[in-house]
Amino acid sequence: MKLPGAPRSLFSAARLRLGALVALPLLALVGGFWLTACQTSGEGESEADGPSTRISTLFKPLPDEVPELGDGPVAEARVDLGHKLYFEPKLSRSGNVSCNTCHVVGAAGVDHRQVSKGVGDRKGRRNSPTVYNAAFLESQFWDGRAATLEEQAKGPLQAHVEMDMTPEMVVERLRTLGYTSLFEKAFPEADTAVTFNHVADAIAAFERTLITPGAPFDRYLEGNEDALTAQQKAGLKVFTNNGCAGCHRGPMLGGQGYANFSHAKGDADTGREEVTGEKSDRYSFRIASLRNVAETAPYFHDGSARTLREAVSVMGKAQLGRTFNEEEIDKLVAFLNSLTGEFPNVPYPRLPRQPPQPTEGS
């Protein structure tokens, strides 16, 4: 099914580089202080109004194409390969954990656990963020230690608590399973088709198809005043007038840059400090995108907020220094529900399986 203005085929070619994303200024945010420009009173802007100039400056519709995917049969072959690899449990040491185990495409790209379980039921220490719209993020992981989807894809494959493989094991196992011809189609100019880097490249290509445009808020930003309910418009006003948009703005309503999260202070997990070694980055984490947030509980890097209402309350106290009342929380949650986009239909792929080769003398 094709949505208005949005190609929903899994293999839709994507050729835009998101000039809107690049052009948006990144925010310098220290100690939880927010942009003064986002704390204006909003006088003269009724809840029934369409998006004002201020709203249109703060937010942009989510693009319906993803960057850097390319076009043509090679790009399609690469996405097809990545689709299979994403669901391939043999990429884990135990043979029963895939990318989709923790980032379930049929469940908004998450597993709804506080922290995910990998090989041998080993638990990670952070909540698994959604894979949807990850192509639009400035960096990957809560601490931003991976700059690209390709770099990110290599992490879980090798992490002891996740899939617990080595690059050599990954390559050998895929060759044994019968993936070689698929790699040759996806990487026709490579001297060696099946490589660990190509595994990451293919998975990243598939993940770039996982986008969710067409949310009610997108339609509102495009001029459809009826796309939001009166309560959602009221929630938008609470959101902008209280400084939430200081971090959660742009096409992703967040996802760019880092902020100190005072709610985490005292925890063993010190966030981005572990990457940079800078004390100024202690308890800083990547600013979460709010796209599809109503579908991705639990919340925060540690999964400590079980519901969206709880997350809104915590953010008000920890980051804004104020306590939202029940009516304000109702409005904010209503607005956040307007950020749920249209999810693509992602079928479970048929995975290559060739019979074991007979050993000599058998």
Q: Of 45, 65, 88, 162, which residue is the catalytic one? A: 162
The answer to whether residues 167 and 155 touch, using CB atoms and an 8 Å cutoff, is no
Placement of tokens 């595994």 in the chain: 199
In which region does residue 67 sit, left (phi positive, over 0), alpha (psi from -120 to 50) or beta (all else)?
beta
Percentage helix, strand, coil, to 5, in the chain?
40, 5, 55
Query: How far, in Å, CA of 14 to CA of 222, rounded?
Result: 21
Q: For residue 127, with 0-12 CB atoms within 10 Å meaning exposed, 13-18 middle and 19 or more buried, which class applies?
A: buried
Buried (b) or exposed (e) across 280-304, using 16+ Cβ within 10 A?
Answer: ebebbbbbbbbbbbbbbbbbbbbbb
Q: Does the annotation mark 274 as catalytic?
A: no
Residue count of the chain, please give it.
362
Closest CA to 132 of 90, 95, 99: 99
Catalytic residue list: 162
